[in-house]
Amino acid sequence: MSDSLTYAYYPGCSGTGTSIEYDMSTRAICAELGITLTDIPDWSCCGSTPAHTVDHTLSSALSARNLALVEKMDLDTAITPCPSCLTNLKTATHRMEKDVFREKVNNLLDTPYQGGVATKSVLQILVEDMGVKALKDKTVKPLKGLKVAAYYGCIMNRPPEVMNFDDPEHPMAMDNILTALGATVLPFPLKVECCGASFGIPRKDIVMNLSGKLLDAAKDIGADALATACPLCQMNLDLRQDQINSSGGTNYDIPVFYYTQLIGLALGLSEKKLGIDKLCVSPRKVINAIGRDEAS
Amino acid sequence: MEIVNITKSYDANFVRQVEDESGQIMSQCYQCGNCTAGCPYTFVYDQPVNQIMRLVQAGQKETVLKSKSLWLCATCESCTTRCPNNIDVAHIMDVLRHMARRNGYSPVPTVKSFWDSFLSSVENNGRAFEIGLLVSYIAKTGRFWTDLDLGPKILPKGKMHFTPPNMQGKEEVKKIFNRFREESRK
């Protein structure tokens, strides 16, 4: 581990709202691990899915505005917790390698983006720059006894040519981290299956079906909890868990953590700092169980 | 799949346009069906994704552009990741949505309204303003009961803001949208 882990940080819109606990726990663990996050000043929305369904130049321009801001910061790497932001930033970078496309995008911007900023997920720098061993060494409250399913969501690692991290079908980054922290990570067959994404509002039936399958699979393998890396996945599985129960006649009661919250618990950070109270399905029983095992 | 008389309705321009806009070569698809096998959305599609690919090859512009599938694809990248011929299928689906929009097709109006509400929120605020976009979505669709049950769960946790985000450069973002519209008119 080097002392100079410094990155431009892109919280993303949900990080300031619906996934505030992802942002809080990310900032808290980075501070604890000696990773410096400098917020991209006056960052704007990446356009998420809606922008790329309208036009690729528009979508890339919304991302490139932020990358141009990073260029001014004299930092070479931008990181974000959110896979949707990540995929937009990375896709823009990838497509703008072509001169004609870069010119079209830059025509829409006040400040053109030259290229050259690397974009990574927080998960990626944790395993590649910090290292799983360093995380293990800093663990003061191991997650002993926690049986967890690591759920990556669909776009953190796909398509591989663009995302360029871990495995597109069987990613292991979160599995490896959580195992190092003392948890029992169960083999979860749906780790990259889509949760229904942003259809929660316009076509709830889709999310009920797809997220329902995920909860069903998690229950089947005996998971006490799910670990997620995506604000939308977390929201579909946690906030909508009651809706899924009503629509499918089920009674799931599975807490859905951000993996950064679990890291924070293992590092001994307070629940308040990690925004544990922001979760909808109460994780109380699960957290108490980890505590009891630790005491025994 | 319905029977299509391709000698009568083959539109070569359509095929060329999809190829130009997506950078993909349509004839490379040999209908293995891998994209459909992995697509989580087939259960709500009117045409499975491999059939969309085949219909594009067959130049069936109207059938493709009015397909609901284009609006129900979440760009989860399963198809692209698993295509044995390295065709970026999700990119083609995106391009088809662009073309459907330009041609005025909107077979799943709730999805289009939601995406449009999201984008106008970004255009006006620089960042997504969730409550604002919900209000705009409800105004567009009349679906005032949308997720009312979630309010009591999420509001006390302070995870939604009642005022738009405070972003200084929001005019800059607005200009991106304006310039995009100017360019599109050319």
pTM above 0.90, yes or no: yes
Backbone angles phi, psi at A227, to 5 degrees: -110, 125
Q: How confident is the model at residue B1 (pLDDT cuts 50, 70, 90)?
A: low
CA distance A45 to chain B (A): 5
Local mean pLDDT, 10-residue blocks, chain A (296 residues)? 81 94 98 98 96 97 98 95 98 96 97 95 98 97 97 97 97 98 98 96 97 98 98 97 97 98 97 97 95 50
pLDDT of residue B31: 98
pLDDT of residue B3: 77
**Predicted confidence (pLDDT) per residue in B62-110, tens digit:** 999 999 999 999 999 999 999 999 999 999 999 999 999 999 999 999 9
Q: Which residue type, as a one-letter code, is found at position A145?
A: G
CA distance A205 to chain B (A): 9
Which of B78, B116, B159 has the CB atom closest to A278's CB atom?
B159
pLDDT of residue A295: 42
3-state secondary structure of A148: strand
CA distance B55 to chain A (A): 20
In chain A, whose CA is at the least distance from the CA of B100?
Answer: A54
pLDDT of residue B166: 85
Residue B76: which residues within 8 A CB-CB, separation 6 or more?
A: A154, A155, A158, A194, A197, B40, B41, B90
Which of A25, A22, A4 is closest to A13 using CA atoms? Answer: A22
In chain B, whose CA is at the least distance from the CA of A282?
Answer: B153
Q: Which residue type, as a one-letter code, is found at position A226?
A: L
pLDDT of residue A3: 54
Is 60 exceeded by the pLDDT of residue B52?
yes
pLDDT of residue A277: 97
Residue A159, preceding peptide bond in cis (omega within 30° of 0): yes
- Listed in sequence order, the DSSP H helices in chain A are 20-33, 48-54, 56-72, 83-95, 99-106, 122-125, 132-137, 160-163, 173-180, 204-220, 231-234, 241-248, 259-266, 284-295
pLDDT of residue B8: 81
pLDDT of residue B5: 79
- Which chain B residues contact residue A48 at CB under 8 A? 118, 128
Tokens of A211: 């997220």
- Mutation target to probe the B interface, by most B beta carbons within 10 A, among A13, A22, A53 is A53
User: Residue B2 — left, alpha, or beta (φ > 0 → left; ψ -120 to 50 → alpha)?
Assistant: beta
Which of A17, A42, A107 has the CB atom closest to B161's CB atom?
A17
CA distance B156 to chain A (A): 9
What distance lies between CA A224 and its chain's CA centroid?
20
Instruction: Describe the strand order of the beta sheet including A225-228 as a list of residue ranges.
Output: A184-186, A147-151, A225-228, A256-258
**Predicted confidence (pLDDT) per residue in B16-34, tens digit:** 999 999 999 999 999 999 9
**Predicted confidence (pLDDT) per residue in B128-174, tens digit:** 998 888 889 999 998 887 888 998 999 899 888 888 888 999 999 99
pLDDT of residue A291: 79
Tokens of A234: 């977390």
